[in-house]
Amino acid sequence: MERLPVTLRRARQSDKADMLDLTRNIWDGDDYVPHAWEGWLVDSQGLLVVAEHEGRVLGLAHLARLSSEDWWMEGMRVHPEFEGRGIASQLHEYLTSYWLRHGSGTVRLTTASFRQEVHHLCQKQGFQKMLEISFFIAPALDEPLPEAVFTGLTGADLVTALEFIRQSPSLMFSAGMLELGWRMAPPREVYLADTIQAGRAWWWRGREGLLSTWDDEDEEGPPIPYIQCIACSPNQLAECLLDFRRLAGSLERKQAGWMAPLHPELLPILSQTGFKRDWDEAMFLYVKRHPTANVE
């Protein structure tokens, strides 16, 4: 199809009706973008951009600044009636160019494995695929959890815990990334500090390992705790995952989850510990380093 010319500009509050129209059937009507819209509008560190044609918003995307070194592209949406007209390409190019002018470090995004058009856009803009992940869920275990198994981290543990994570061999499964609730980034003080403050980070079995989590809201029940980071030796990973299921039970949660890397050494461990894949597809993590970025 012919490329549709659009005007790319910052989003405005008055764009909300068009946003709701173009997202209403995405993910079977359960798109997260309407819930994130107000926060994105007032995000002074990032950029919420829309694609407008003849006074109507037909696409949108958001660029978030997670830290001085970590940027995240998310929420790229195109009205279903106008897909294949080059709108996504124009949004992606615009945000990439904006980041190159105003950003630093690394920009990342995830997209579903079946979104071939987004894969092509990423490759065209010099992004590289870094990781494949998918959803794994296990029932929480209603078993006693000895108090010494998990010990909550405090602010005084921050530096030591961060170094422990960075040195952990289990981080290889996730290509060195932390899960930040639908976003991913390398271990940094700012992310771990927030998790500690929220009471979702623990030493495991003394200091043999470390576990941190984030909550995914479930409309049909209590939030599901998902692994943000699991740091331990690979031969202890199965034990730590089972204890995570017990921890979920002790927190009165019904399930425990992990957006787990599809690593060949990890998949048998997930199966062994009762985690079943909850989605047939996968998410691809793409990354692009800024020309001025130092190698981490």
- Count CB neighbours of 154 within 10 A: 11
- Predicted local confidence at residue 27, as pLDDT: 85
- Would 7-104 and 135-281 be classified into the same CATH topology? yes
Domain residue ranges in the chain: 7-104, 135-281
Classify 71 as helix, strand or coil. strand
According to DSSP, residue 142 is labeled: -
- Residue 86 token pair: 């080059």
- More confident of the two residues 295 and 104: 104
Question: How does pLDDT run across 49-104, given as a tens digit for each residue?
Answer: 999 999 999 999 999 999 999 999 999 999 999 999 999 999 999 999 999 999 99
pLDDT band at 146 (very low <50, low <70, confident <90, very high): confident
Per CATH, the homologous superfamily of domain 135-281 is Gcn5-related N-acetyltransferase (GNAT) (3.40.630.30)
Q: Percent of the chain at pLDDT above 70? A: 99
Judging by DSSP bridges, how do beta strands 106-112 and 70-78 pair with one another? parallel
Could you tell me the pTM of the whole model?
Answer: 0.94
In the chain, the amino acid numbered 56 is R
Answer yes or no: is pLDDT of 210 > 60. Answer: yes
d(CA 210, CA 203): 5
CB 71 within 8 A of CB 255: no
- Nearest CA among 172, 195, 200, 176 for reference residue 187: 176
CA distance 95 to 73: 8
Alpha-carbon span 6 to 136, nearest angstrom: 39
- Give the model confidence (pLDDT) of 221-270 as tens digits: 789 999 999 999 999 999 999 999 999 999 999 999 999 999 999 999 99
Q: Which helix (H) or strand (E) holds 8?
A: strand 7-10
Residues 134/277, Cβ–Cβ less than 8 Å:
yes
Binned at pLDDT 50, 70 and 90, residue 296 comes out as: low
pLDDT digits (tens, 9 = 90+) for 109-120: 999 999 999 999
Look at the domain 7-104 and name its fold.
Aminopeptidase (3.40.630)
pLDDT in tens, 160-203: 999 999 999 999 999 999 999 999 999 999 999 999 999 999 99
pLDDT at 180: 96
Average pLDDT over residues 281-289: 98
pLDDT of residue 126: 96
Helix (H, G, I), strand (E, B) or coil at 127: coil
φ/ψ bin of 28: left (φ > 0), alpha (ψ from -120 to 50), beta (otherwise): left
Distance CA 224, CA 151 (A): 20
